[in-house]
């Protein structure tokens, strides 16, 4: 049989193939020849054949039939055979296959070979792919070699040990003694591999870590020598001596210095030296500086050193190489919390990175920018970030918008700025804003009562513009490809929803037009309704958006004067909407118009200040609530009880045992309220006053613009009662049970005045026994006109979890015929259906 062709010749032949098929043919032919050669146990050319097989394997062809041949080569005495054999083993065998275990004996023998290069092959193979079993079998040999005086062997043994410990962690112990001595070597290879081994051991075992901590001075010395020593050509890289070793030592120092003052102290100087003296013009210098920075940040370094580290990172940001910029931003992000001030100094560079071409850099820069926002830089930073939001890639917009909202919430310098910023985000990135932000925005707007007018006007304007823009785009998109059309169709649902809500709440302010704005809007009721209707009708509006729009319309029925009929019409149309949610709302609103018209004003009145029951635990301090009208109309009476002195009835944590609220009217001393409750057999007063203390979420649920809760079609109607009647003043209670919460009763009181003089400054207060909870919503007014020509309505919500019999004490204060009056009454005649 002719000698098999040489490797190079085969390679040449394969490369002449012009098609995949040709190549395959050549290879199949050769493989067949090789197979028969293997079968014949040819040892002369085994090496050549395996080498060819390895080449073909690299091209993607199967070569498993060569595995055993590799083992035979390893067992051969010829160095050439061993070289190829071990290479083949590393390429063709993996530890999952039992066949590799057959190597164990060969490796063992070769580890003890008298030629260091054979030993080297064995160590290399074991250290690259040895299975746990092999490692267990051969650990002893490797440990012995770790103590060799031959540095060529020693360094390989060290890395082999690293692999063994990774595979069989329990074996670490046996390597400890030999490891200790490794750092005494001069040979850089040994020092480097020793550092790797020690690092690995320390990461695995805290005990070992403390043990090796005493090496710190020695490591510091080695590092110092490296830096101070003169030029050594064999280790030099661009003027720096052995950067690989420097980095490895720095890394080991990091682990040893972490959480240890003494060790950190000992390495302080050398770190400063490396940080200041390393050349930064080439990548190699930056690699060392980077590692130095990581070490400084992780150990207990003094602040000067930390500032130095941050400054290095700041310089990295200006580097042309984007890898270095990226690496710097990542590190800065990790340290921004702990070294906030130092990082702040590089803020403008970081902000510049927002304009980088590379996407991963932009993302890092964005995250870092948000971390740097504080009260003093918020205006400038927000400007940059809003600009970024305008122009950034789509994948960032949601996160950026959310980040802006969070930052604005924490650091807004003024309410007006806050609202302006929110609106800017809504209008520019509205379709990427997360759904959760809508309630948060609404909360913000509600609680900023002084800006209601401003907010609603701006939102209305934005919405009008959005509609006309979408109309224009729709005309354009009709002529476009569907793919492009999708782009245009992205309606800004959050913007629309927030606007709808505001228009509904503050529509009256829209009409009145007066707020200290440059150009207050001149808007008619019809125009407002046009906008809301278009929201309802647009097929790009989501179901939720439509819900918002419908409810907004409904609210306007109490705020607008001349268009109630139009509203009724629109609402009734949706009573047969396919959308079930919408249909239900419409039906209930219709019912509101028809059967419960007297309740409509109370139900649809202004939202109170809401508490934010958010996951991050932020609670808004209750400002004086948005009861603009009643308070303004009341002449200078005593301060409203709606301030924070009201005992927080609804505080789930057990209630405020503080002094009860100051009653309106100067005549009632504080203690009086307590006496109000004498006889009701309760311990501590639970007061409800005509204000809006922080409402609980349970009530808020039923408060949320779904009045359907107030309606109780399932239960039979509960008879109303006369709660109080004296001297011409009469208070009626009518009842509804909540659909969603069977423990909640909604009482609507109606006060009327049959005398011939008006009753003014009317305030209703109530107290219930302790097991109940009470919430009084704002009254429709505090004037009860004479001769039953009108009245006050007010909604009381009662929570009665223990289903006890409802009792109530009332206190009424008012002015009648110029006299301040105060009356007390008790209500005991609640119908059973109202509390059972």
The footprint of another protein (CB under 8 A) covers 8, 11, 15, 51, 54-55, 58-60, 77-80, 83-84, 87, 91, 94-96, 115, 117, 120, 123-124, 127-129, 152, 155-156, 159-160, 162-163, 166, 188-189, 192-193, 196, 200, 203-204, 233-235, 237, 242-245, 247, 251, 283-284, 286-287, 290-291, 294, 322-324, 326-327, 360
Residue placing its CB nearer to another protein in the complex, 87 or 718: 87
Between the alpha carbon of residue 624 and those of residues 455, 634, 641, 729, the distances in Å are 18, 15, 10, 29
CA distance 813 to 634: 13
User: Which residue, 47, 46, 88, is CA-closest to 64?
Assistant: 88
CA distance 494 to 463: 11
Structure tokens at 207: 């005990």
Beta carbon of residue 233, minimum distance to another protein (angstroms, whole number)? 8
Residue placing its CB nearer to another protein in the complex, 220 or 252: 252
Beta carbon of residue 92, minimum distance to another protein (angstroms, whole number)? 8
Residue placing its CB nearer to another protein in the complex, 120 or 430: 120
Contact 349, 317 (CB under 8 A): yes
Beta carbon of residue 483, minimum distance to another protein (angstroms, whole number)? 25
Residue placing its CB nearer to another protein in the complex, 157 or 777: 157
Beta carbon of residue 10, minimum distance to another protein (angstroms, whole number)? 10
Residue placing its CB nearer to another protein in the complex, 284 or 677: 284
CA distance 404 to 425: 8
CA distance 392 to 432: 12
Helices of type H across 214-358: 216-228, 243-257, 261-277, 283-298, 303-316, 322-335, 340-344, 347-352
CA distance 208 to 214: 11
Residue placing its CB nearer to another protein in the complex, 15 or 39: 15
Phi, psi (degrees; rounded to nearest 5) at 729: -95, 130
Q: Which helix (H) or strand (E) holds 746?
A: strand 744-753
**Which residue(s) pair with 824 in the sheet?**
811
Beta carbon of residue 329, minimum distance to another protein (angstroms, whole number)? 12
Residue placing its CB nearer to another protein in the complex, 11 or 26: 11
Residue placing its CB nearer to another protein in the complex, 60 or 635: 60
CA distance 233 to 229: 12
Beta carbon of residue 557, minimum distance to another protein (angstroms, whole number)? 55
Residue placing its CB nearer to another protein in the complex, 284 or 510: 284
Beta carbon of residue 399, minimum distance to another protein (angstroms, whole number)? 16
Residue in this structure with the two tokens 């001769």, named with its chain if needed: 787
Beta carbon of residue 402, minimum distance to another protein (angstroms, whole number)? 22
Other Cβ atoms closer than 10 A to 457: 21
Q: Which helix (H) or strand (E) holds 384?
A: helix 378-391
Burial class (CB in 10 A: 0-12, 13-18, 19+), 1: exposed
Beta carbon of residue 117, minimum distance to another protein (angstroms, whole number)? 5
Residue placing its CB nearer to another protein in the complex, 15 or 18: 15
User: Which residue, 52, 94, 51, 98, is CA-closest to 73?
Assistant: 51
Beta carbon of residue 38, minimum distance to another protein (angstroms, whole number)? 19
């Amino acid at each position: 049989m002719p000698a098999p062709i040489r490797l190079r010749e085969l390679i040449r032949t394969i490369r002449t193939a012009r098609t995949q098929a040709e190549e395959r043919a050549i290879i199949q032919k050769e493989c067949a020849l090789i197979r028969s050669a293997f079968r014949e146990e040819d040892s002369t050319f085994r090496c050549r054949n395996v080498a060819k097989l390895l080449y073909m394997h690299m091209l993607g062809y199967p070569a498993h039939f060569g595995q055993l041949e590799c083992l035979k080569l390893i067992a051969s005495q010829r160095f050439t055979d061993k070289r190829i054999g071990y290479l083949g083993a590393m390429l063709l065998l993996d530890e999952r296959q039992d066949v590799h275990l057959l190597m164990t004996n060969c490796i063992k023998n070769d580890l003890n070979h008298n030629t260091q290069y054979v030993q080297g092959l064995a160590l290399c193979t074991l250290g690259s792919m040895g299975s746990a079993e092999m490692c267990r079998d051969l650990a002893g040999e490797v440990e012995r070699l770790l103590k060799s005086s031959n540095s060529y062997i020693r360094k390989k043994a060290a890395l082999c040990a690293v692999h063994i410990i990774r595979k069989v962690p329990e074996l670490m112990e046996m390597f400890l003694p030999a490891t200790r001595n490794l750092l005494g070597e001069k040979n850089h290879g040994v020092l480097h591999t020793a550092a790797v081994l020690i690092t690995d051991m320390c990461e695995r075992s805290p005990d070992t870590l403390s043990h090796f901590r005493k090496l710190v001075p020695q490591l510091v010395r080695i590092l110092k020598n490296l830096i101070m020593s003169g030029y050594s050509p064999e280790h030099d890289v661009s003027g720096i001596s052995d950067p690989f070793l420097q980095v490895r030592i720095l890394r080991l120092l990091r682990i040893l210095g972490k959480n240890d003052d003494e060790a950190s102290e000992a390495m302080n100087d050398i770190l400063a030296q490396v940080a200041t003296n390393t050349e930064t013009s080439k990548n190699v210098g930056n690699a060392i500086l980077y590692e130095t920075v990581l070490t400084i940040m992780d150990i207990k370094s003094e602040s000067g050193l930390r500032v130095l580290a941050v400054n290095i990172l700041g310089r990295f940001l200006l580097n042309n190489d984007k890898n270095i910029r990226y690496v710097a931003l990542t590190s800065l992000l990790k340290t921004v919390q702990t070294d906030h001030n130092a990082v702040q100094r590089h803020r403008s560079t970081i902000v510049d990175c927002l304009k980088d071409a590379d996407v991963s850099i932009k993302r890092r820069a964005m995250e870092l920018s948000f971390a740097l926002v504080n009260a003093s830089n918020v205006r400038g930073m927000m400007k940059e970030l809003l600009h970024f939001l305008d122009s950034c890639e789509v994948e960032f917009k949601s996160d950026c918008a959310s980040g802006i909202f969070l930052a604005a919430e924490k650091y807004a310098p003024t309410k007006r700025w806050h609202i302006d910023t929110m609106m800017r985000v809504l209008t520019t990135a509205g379709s990427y804003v997360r759904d959760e932000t809508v309630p948060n925005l609404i909360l913000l707007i509600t609680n900023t009562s002084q800006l209601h007018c401003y907010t609603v006007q701006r939102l209305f304007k934005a919405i009008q513009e959005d509609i006309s823009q979408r109309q224009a785009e729709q005309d354009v998109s009709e002529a476009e490809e569907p793919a492009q059309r999708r782009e245009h169709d992205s309606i800004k649902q959050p913007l629309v929803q927030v606007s709808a809500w505001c228009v509904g709440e503050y529509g009256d302010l829209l009409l009145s037009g007066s707020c200290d704005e440059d150009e207050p809007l001149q808007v008619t009721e019809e125009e407002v309704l046009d906008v809301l209707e278009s929201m309802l009708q647009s097929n790009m509006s989501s179901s939720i958006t439509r819900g918002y729009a419908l409810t907004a319309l409904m609210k306007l029925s109490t705020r607008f004067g001349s268009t109630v009929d139009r509203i009724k019409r629109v609402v009734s149309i949706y009573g047969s909407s396919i959308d079930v949610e919408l249909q239900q709302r419409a039906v209930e609103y219709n019912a509101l118009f028809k059967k419960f018209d007297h309740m409509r004003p109370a139900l649809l009145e202004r939202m109170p200040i809401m508490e934010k029951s958010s996951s991050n635990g932020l609670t808004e301090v209750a400002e004086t609530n948005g009861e603009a009208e009643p308070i303004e109309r009341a002449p200078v009476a005593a301060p409203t009880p709606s301030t924070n002195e009201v005992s927080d009835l609804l505080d789930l944590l057990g209630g405020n045992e503080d002094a009860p609220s100051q009653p309106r009217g100067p005549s009632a001393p504080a203690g009086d309220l307590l006496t109000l409750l004498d006889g009701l057999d309760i311990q501590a007063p639970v007061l409800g006053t005509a204000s809006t203390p922080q409402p609980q979420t349970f009530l808020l649920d039923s408060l949320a613009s779904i009045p359907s809760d107030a309606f109780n079609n399932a239960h039979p109607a509960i008879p109303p009662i006369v709660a109080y009647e004296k001297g011409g003043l009469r208070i009626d209670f009518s009842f509804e049970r909540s659909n969603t919460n069977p423990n909640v009763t909604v009482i609507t009181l109606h006060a009327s005045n049959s005398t011939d003089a008006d009753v003014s400054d009317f305030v209703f207060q109530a107290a219930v026994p302790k097991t109940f909870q009470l919430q009084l919503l704002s009254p429709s007014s505090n004037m009860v006109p004479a001769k039953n020509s009108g009245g006050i309505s007010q909604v009381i919500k009662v929570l009665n979890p223990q289903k006890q019999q409802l009792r109530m004490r009332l206190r009424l204060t008012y002015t009648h015929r110029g006299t301040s009056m105060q009356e007390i009454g008790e209500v005991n005649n609640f119908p059973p259906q109202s509390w059972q």
